[in-house]
Every structure is written in C-alpha cells, then in structure tokens.
Amino acid sequence: MMSLEERRAQFTKYKQDVKDRGKPFYPFAMFHDTIMSLVVVSIIIALACVWYFTSGEDPNTCGGKDSCLLGPRYAEPADPGTTNFVPRPDWYFYFLFYLLRIFKWPNSVILGTVGIPTILLIILIMMPFLDLRRERRVLRRPVAVVAAILTVLSMGVLTYKGATAKEALASEVKAAVPQWAQKQGFTNNKEAVAGANAFATSGCTACHTYLGTGGGNLGAPDLSAEGTKGKGVQGLQTYISDPSKFGNNVMPKFASLGDTTLHQIATFLDASKGPK
Ligand code: HEC
C-alpha cells in the first residue's frame, strides 16, 4: 500500500495531466462512440440485406447452401419430436459447455454455474478498490498478467476439450451393443438385443449411463444392472411407457415407441444383471 501523501501527489499530477492534455468526455468521447456504433449497425444491416436478397423464397434456391452468398433463407424445418438430435453450442461457448461436463449433476452444478462465476464477478468488481497502484507497465504487474494468461489458457483448453468431446451419438452407442450383449450374457436373446438397439437409438443415453456409455445427466441412474431390481419385464415396460405414474417427472413418456419396442427395451433391461 502507498502512503496517503503519495496517492494525493499522484492524484494532483493526474488532474494536472488532464488539464494540460485531456479532452472532455462530452462531446469528444460521445461523438467517437456514436460514429463507431453507427458503423457496426450499418455493417449488420448490410449483411442482413445481402443475405435476404441473394437467397430466395424457395428453400431450394441455393441448391443446398453453397451458392447463396450468406446461406439459404430456409433450411430444414425444426422437428421438436426428434430423439437423436445432439444439441451442441456454437464454438465460442464450448468452454462453458465443457465446464458443465466437468461439474456433474447434481452435486457441483450449482457451484459450476452460479458459484464460480459469482465469485469471479465479485473479484472483478472489487478490482479498482484492491489495486490502487497507478503502475500500468505490463512487466510490473505480475499478478494481473499471470491471471490473464491463465484465464486465456484455461478457456483455450476448455474450448479444445469441448470441440473434441464425444457425444452419446446414437450411432456410437449402437456400436457398443454387441459388447453389452457379451458382457451381460444375452447374446442369444434376440428380443433383448433388439431392445438394446432400440435403447441405444431412442435417446435414453442422453440421461442414463449403461456400462460406461452415455450421459449420467439430470440424476438418471445407471441402468447396467437394472434387471437385478426385480421389476420384471412387464413392470419395466409400464415404467418406461409413462414414468410420471411412478413419480418420475424428469424422464419423458416413451409410450409413442409402441408396445413391441417397449417390450424389447424392457426385456433388454431385465436381462441386464450387471457385467459378468
Ligand atoms: C431426460 C432424461 C431421461 C431420459 C431421456 C430417459 N430417462 Fe430414464 N430416468 C430418468 C431419471 C431422472 C430417472 C430416475 C427417476 C427417479 O429416481 O425417480 C430415470 C429412471 C429410469 C428407470 C428406473 C431406474 C431405477 O432403477 O429406478 C428406468 C428403467 C429408465 N429410467 C429407463 C429409461 C429408458 C429405457 C429410456 C429410453 C427409452 C430412458 N429411461 C430415458 C431420466 C431419463
């Protein structure tokens, strides 16, 4: 900490500097900001016009996407009923996306999403009161510089990890089915194998884990040994068809899969007694 006299002297010097060389905020800085905002907004409007007038009403004008300057006006319509869509953020959110994978539901998610950002924000707000020195040369500010480098580095690493993270994609999960059948010993049970494939492609692994594959999200339990819980094929089928009847309001109803598929999935779960 500096002595009061020193800080007073520096403050007087600062005021003198402003008098000698400074410009008032109004109108100089405001004019500057207004011009810059106008430039940015004009660029956005110009890009929107280029996009609108080079693409057509017809979704096929661009013959896909590449021949329109900035992409087609319409792509495929959104399908709210899809179960095999894997949501991924744009690249600049990969670091946050990966943070959410590090903090597993439910114990540490509040810490990761609310706790840490709040602590960092408080530090940031307190910064002007903590760091009272007038020193601005980079090499004389080791703490700030190291903190900045660490921040950039960790965001870089998290972005990379987020970009290369493997999703529980239906096709990848499906590829694990023969291995599941072997480990659980239901290779010869056709109904169970069909159920395993249905399980792999119906979006169950977005929440549940099974022999190490899948999400582990929203508090969904591991299902590798579901068959040891004594629910029986019929009990499991009823459960999956409408879990809300059993007080589970997180898991969606899967009645729309149809009785045949539900029965297969239930048989598969009933045959899952944990790896041999
Ligand atoms: C949106 C997330 C989500 C999806 C998708 C999901 N589940 Fe669940 N499931 C849960 C949660 C959460 C629980 C635990 C509820 C509880 O403990 O009360 C659960 C419980 C279960 C249970 C009971 C487990 C036990 O031992 O109590 C079974 C069986 C089950 N799910 C099967 C499935 C199947 C099969 C699918 C796919 C067709 C599926 N789930 C899809 C979230 C999900």
pLDDT in tens, 47-103: 999 888 888 776 666 655 556 778 777 766 777 776 666 677 888 998 888 887 777
pLDDT at 234: 93
Q: Of all protein residues, whose CA lies closest to atom 27 belonging to ligand 1?
A: 221
Reported pTM: 0.54
For range 117-123, the mean pLDDT: 92
pLDDT band at residue 107 using 50, 70 and 90 as cut-offs? confident
Least confident of 45-54, 92-101, 186-195, 261-270: 92-101
For range 239-249, the mean pLDDT: 91
For range 199-221, the mean pLDDT: 83
pLDDT at 69: 79
pLDDT above 60 (res 169): yes
* SS3 state of residue 209: strand
pLDDT band at residue 152 using 50, 70 and 90 as cut-offs? very high
pLDDT at 86: 67
* SS3 state of residue 213: strand
pLDDT at 70: 80
Q: 217 or 223: which carries more pLDDT confidence?
A: 223
* SS3 state of residue 194: helix
Q: Of all protein residues, whose CA lies closest to atom 26 belonging to ligand 1?
A: 226
Tell me, in angstroms, the distance from the centre of ligand 1 to residue 218's CA: 10
pLDDT at 100: 78
Residues 6+ apart with CB under 8 A from 201: 83, 84, 170, 173, 174
pLDDT at 53: 85
Let me know if the fold of 86-165 is the same as that of 170-270.
Answer: no
What is each CA distance from 226 to 102, 188, 223, 270, in whole angstroms?
26, 19, 5, 6
Tell me, in angstroms, the distance from the centre of ligand 1 to residue 55's CA: 44
Q: 167 or 251: which carries more pLDDT confidence?
A: 251
- Which residues surround ligand 1 with Cβ inside 6 Å? 199, 202-204, 206-208, 218-221, 223, 226, 229, 236, 239-240, 247-248, 250-252, 254, 265, 269
pLDDT band at residue 119 using 50, 70 and 90 as cut-offs? very high
Q: Of all protein residues, whose CA lies closest to atom 42 belonging to ligand 1?
A: 251
For range 143-163, the mean pLDDT: 92
pLDDT above 80 (res 217): no
Contact assessment for residue 215 and residue 105, using Cβ atoms and an 8 Å cutoff: no
Summary mean pLDDT of the chain: 85
Q: Of all protein residues, whose CA lies closest to atom 30 belonging to ligand 1?
A: 240
Which one is the CATH code of 170-270: 3.30.460.10, 3.40.50.720, 1.10.760.10, 3.40.50.300? 1.10.760.10
Per-domain residue ranges of the chain: 23-77, 86-165, 170-270
Q: 33 or 70: which carries more pLDDT confidence?
A: 33
Least confident of 121-125, 235-239, 252-256: 252-256
Which one is the CATH code of 86-165: 1.10.10, 1.10.287, 3.30.460, 1.10.443? 1.10.287
Tell me, in angstroms, the distance from the centre of ligand 1 to residue 248's CA: 8
What is each CA distance from 60 to 53, 75, 78, 103, in whole angstroms?
15, 9, 16, 43
250, 262, 272, 273, best to mutate for ligand 1 pocket (most atoms within 8 Å of CB): 250
